Chains A and B, each alone.
Chain A
Amino acid sequence: MGIGASPRVVWEGLPSFYKLMGDLFPPNWTVLPALVQPAVQTLQMALVGTTQGALLSVPLILLASRNVTRQAWLYYGARGILNLLRTVPELLYAAILVAAVGIGPFAGILALTVFSVAIIAKLTSESLEAIDPGPMEALEAAGANRLKMVRYAVVPQVLPAYLSYTLFVFEINVRVSFVLGLVGAGGIGQLLLTALNLFRYQSATVIILVTLAAVITIDAISVRVRQAIV
């Protein structure tokens, strides 16, 4: 019924699965040096995409926070944009962007930027709406206009959360960047796509292992840094 799931199908598929496993091993370590440059490219995509996303999200964060933006139409407009950005899956962005700007890392970076804005802005604006309103009142009483209130009462309270979410999104983006490569957006993911298409499974294994190692390392570092910030 439905998706056609059944234990029998899995059982009958087992021999093919074992064969596939056999094709994947032993890993072809000779391709390792050739992976360095694409791996770096994947990391760069993640870095640039996250940084651009973090910077571009700042105006949206301020507009999408009720305690900063008093005009209802601005607030709902900003929230609406955020929700729209988040519903479109990043693979779809990437596919559209690859069609628009061609294969390669540029499409990937654009996709990651949009994705980063969506997540960082949503999470940070929620943190922002939970800040202590006291300092804002104090700044208002001291004759500060809205911008000065944001700089001196809001930013110091929300900055750690903003940085933490940015790092968190960077962690995600390293993985996403890899996956984007599979649709042609460059980096080591694209290399994996090529390897699979050419049936070079033992090389594919190495690519997967390298990616795994990179993701684990970056996660570990990022967690430490985030703890230090908060």
Chain B
Amino acid sequence: MTAPQIELRGVEVHFPGGVQALRGVDLSVLRGEFVAIVGLSGAGKSTLLRTVNRLVEPTAGSVWFEGEDLTAAAPARLLEVRAQIGMIFQTFNLVRRSSVLRNVLAGRVGRMPTWRALLGWFPRRDLEIVHGALRKLDIQDKAFVRADVLSGGQQQRVGIARALAQEPKVILADEPVASLDPPTSHMVMRDLRRINQEGITVLINLHFIDLAREYAQRVVGLRDGQVVYDGPAGEVDDATFEQIYGRALKADDFRGADAEG
């Protein structure tokens, strides 16, 4: 039995103002898994994802990465670990006025000394990694284009390229396709699947049931800050989802067909 790459032990998150976002979550993720975290809005999916890289601090419990207690890590060590974990966001979080290249270069910043980063003095190897990431997402011809003139799907690809530029071991994806149309959503999901097949662990928040079933190997269901389901994607059916959601399924729980099939 291999040791898990990511482990949450009894993680609780209590926000000031009284909201209990996570109640005692236990989760183990092995290297190379593709795990979809599903649940209604407000179930705690975003909070859960952000405890993995401590963007949100657990108020109780611990988070472990490759056998190391992240919650007890020193600030400098935390930055080093974060550099190994890529993250993509529903709203892409790109610098809109900057070019695609500049945005993806920002992904390398965590791995270089501050003085080099401030001067913008990237080593040649970093530029090669960045170009490799651009090519992998098929956006190399858009390298000098301003980010905000691109379509939503292309912007998310820039986001993924930025995460890949970190040469990460894990990618955290927070509802990456929620703002995209069905065919584009499938395109991005296929990109993530390809990346996962090359060995990068993917932890993705999704509220589209069909996407979770189609692309993930394992589904973790969250309700009211607690894990209520954890099993292989193949065994998940509509009834499972209704159990996770605590309500009957609706049409907008499904992303819809992929134009390319």
**Interface contact A151-B118, CB-CB below 8 Å:** yes
Scoring A137, A141, A147 by chain B CB atoms within 10 A of each residue's CB, the highest score goes to A141
**Interface contact B79-A143, CB-CB below 8 Å:** yes
Chain B CB within 8 A of A138 CB: yes
Which of B35-43, B85-93, B230-238, B246-254 lies at the interface with chain A?
B85-93
**Interface contact A135-B97, CB-CB below 8 Å:** no
**Contact of A142 (CB < 8 Å), options: B87, B95, B118:** B87
**Interface contact A142-B93, CB-CB below 8 Å:** no
A138 to B114, CA, bound (A): 17
**Interface residue tally on A, bucketed by range:** 20 to 34
Residues of chain A within 8 A of B120, CB atoms compared? 151
In the complex, the chain A residue whose C-beta lies closest to that of B75 is A145
Interface size, chain B (Cβ < 8 Å): 35
A137 to B79, CA, bound (A): 13
Residues of chain A within 8 A of B97, CB atoms compared? 156-157, 160
**Interface contact B110-A142, CB-CB below 8 Å:** yes
Chain B CB within 8 A of A174 CB: no
Query: At the interface, is chain B mostly helix, strand, loop or mixed?
Result: mixed
20 pairs of residues in contact across A and B, judged by CB atoms under 8 Å: A134-B92, A134-B94, A135-B106, A138-B89, A138-B93, A139-B109, A140-B82, A141-B82, A141-B87, A141-B172, A142-B82, A142-B106, A142-B109, A143-B84, A144-B79, A144-B110, A148-B118, A151-B109, A151-B120, A156-B102
| A-B complex: 3 closest residue pairs judged by Cβ atoms | A143-B110, A143-B83, A134-B93
- Given contacts A142-B106, A144-B106, A144-B109, 19 further A-B pairs with CB under 8 A are A134-B91, A137-B89, A138-B89, A138-B159, A139-B110, A141-B85, A141-B86, A141-B172, A143-B111, A148-B109, A148-B114, A151-B117, A152-B117, A153-B95, A153-B106, A156-B102, A157-B95, A157-B97, A160-B97
A→B interface (CB under 8 Å): 132, 134-135, 137-145, 147-148, 151-153, 156-157, 160
